[in-house]
Amino acid sequence: MDALAILILVVALVGLGLVAAVTGLIVGRRRGPRPLPNTHTDVIVRPPTEAPEDDTAVELSAPPATIEPEVELPPVEEAPTLERPEGTASRLVRLRQRLAGSQGALGRGLLALLSRDRLDEDTWESIEDTLLTADIGVGPTQELVERLRTRMRVEGGTGADARTVLREELLALVDPSMDRRLQVSGADGQPGVVLVVGVNGAGKTTTVGKISRILVAEDRSVVLGAADTFRAAAVEQLATWGERVGVEVVRGPEGTDPASVAFEAVKEGVTRGVDTVIVDTAGRLQNKAGLMDELGKVKRVIEKQAPVTEVLLVLDATTGQNGMIQARVFSEVVDVTGIVLTKLDGSAKGGIVVAVQRELGVPVKLVGLGEGADDLAPFDAGAFVDALLG
């Protein structure tokens, strides 16, 4: 009996001991030191695309792939679609037709007069008037009439074609020997720098935009400088041209010194190693000495970075003889190397080409033939005379 009691007591004690041990363990575990806060997370950041360790949890909570997430994602900003400027061939065909449309009357008028059976004094006077009305200028008109008179007298009897004579003489007047290439490349790996100047509203900014498109179409890299800092709208106007074809526009705050913006633009062009930097300037009247001095400064400051390879004077073809005065003054200040004759589509006075070249001894290099983005053509003497004669 005693032995049984002792056995029961021993078993009870062992059982109690076991229970105590197990409970103690569990409690011990629960009271054990808390795991260290996860100090790693800010060091080793899991890439967002990497699957989390606990895949099941994510899978359960993640919505099926086909269901739209409830949180609206911000719209993805679309890259601006760049325009593709018109190719050279189609542009030139189109613009030649437009040139013939605006200037054809001059040639046709001259041809009709020259083809008369009798070239009397009245007829020669009418020829002279026609040329003067087309803004060819007094000197070149007299020269041309003199040459036509001589040739028609000498060759007329032999049945010379009036058209051929007129074509040859007009061509000589327009001077096909002038170098009309645009200097858009610099030497020694530097960018070409084109400075664009002229009076208010002549079409400078539009021309800068159009030239940049032609260069982009030829796979050349371009930076534009918005050195017309007088009006914020002028900067915006240029920026829009640039954005359309993906060309960078260097600008400064309104009222910044235009020379410093021009400097920065050329510096940017040099740093980036682009082919051409084109600098747009504010319109200015040639009789405002202060503004003309400023233009001289713009050019000098640019040249601390890289030589200006082309100074383009933009002239509105509809301004007539006033354009001659502008041409003279601008040329004295910045040494114009080429003329852009704009708005030839809106004027029948293509004779200004001859007058301005004579005045400056500088070639017309480009002609603007409309407000469209690609309405700019290189000036070609032969094509111009052909357009005149229709």
Ligand X SMILES: Nc1nc2c(ncn2[C@@H]2O[C@H](COP(=O)(O)OP(=O)(O)OP(=O)(O)O)[C@@H](O)[C@H]2O)c(=O)[nH]1
List, as residue ranges, the binding site for GTP: 198-205, 280-284, 342-345
Q: Is residue 281 close enough to count as binding Mg ion by CB under 5 A? A: no
**Cα 324 from chain centre:** 27
All residues at 6 or more sequence positions from 178 whose CB lies less than 8 Å from its CB, including other chains: 357, 363, 381
| Contact status, residue 303 vs residue 278, Cβ threshold 8 Å | no
Q: Which is nearer to Mg ion, 205 or 326 (CB)?
A: 205
Contacts with ligand X by CB under 6 A lie at 198, 200-206, 228, 234, 283, 342-343, 345-346, 368-371, 375
Which of Mg ion, ligand X, none binds 347 (CB below 5-8 Å, type-dependent)?
none
Which of ligand X, Mg ion, none binds 203 (CB below 5-8 Å, type-dependent)?
ligand X
d(CA 377, CA 390): 18
Q: What are phi and psi for residue 193, nearest 5 degrees?
A: -120, 120
Measured from the CB of residue 341, what is the shortest distance to ligand X in angstroms?
A: 8
3-class SS at 197?
Answer: strand
Measured from the CB of residue 370, what is the shortest distance to ligand X in angstroms?
A: 5
Determine if residue 126 is left, alpha or beta; phi over 0 gives left, psi from -120 to 50 gives alpha, anything else beta: alpha
Q: Which is nearer to ligand X, 152 or 325 (CB)?
A: 325
Which of ligand X, Mg ion, none binds 368 (CB below 5-8 Å, type-dependent)?
ligand X
> Tokens representing 217?
């179409």
Q: Which is nearer to ligand X, 270 or 369 (CB)?
A: 369
Task: Give me the amino acid identity at 26.
Answer: I
Task: Give me the amino acid identity at 116.
Answer: R
Measured from the CB of residue 97, what is the shortest distance to Mg ion in angstroms?
A: 28
| Contact status, residue 225 vs residue 193, Cβ threshold 8 Å | no
| Contact status, residue 385 vs residue 170, Cβ threshold 8 Å | yes
Binding track over 191-210 against Mg ion, x by CB under 5 A: -------------xx-----
Q: Which is nearer to ligand X, 148 or 366 (CB)?
A: 366
Measured from the CB of residue 178, what is the shortest distance to ligand X in angstroms?
A: 21
d(CA 96, CA 14): 114
Measured from the CB of residue 154, what is the shortest distance to Mg ion in angstroms?
A: 50
Nearest residue to ligand X, scored by beta-carbon proximity: 283
Binding site for Mg ion (CB under 5 A): 204-205
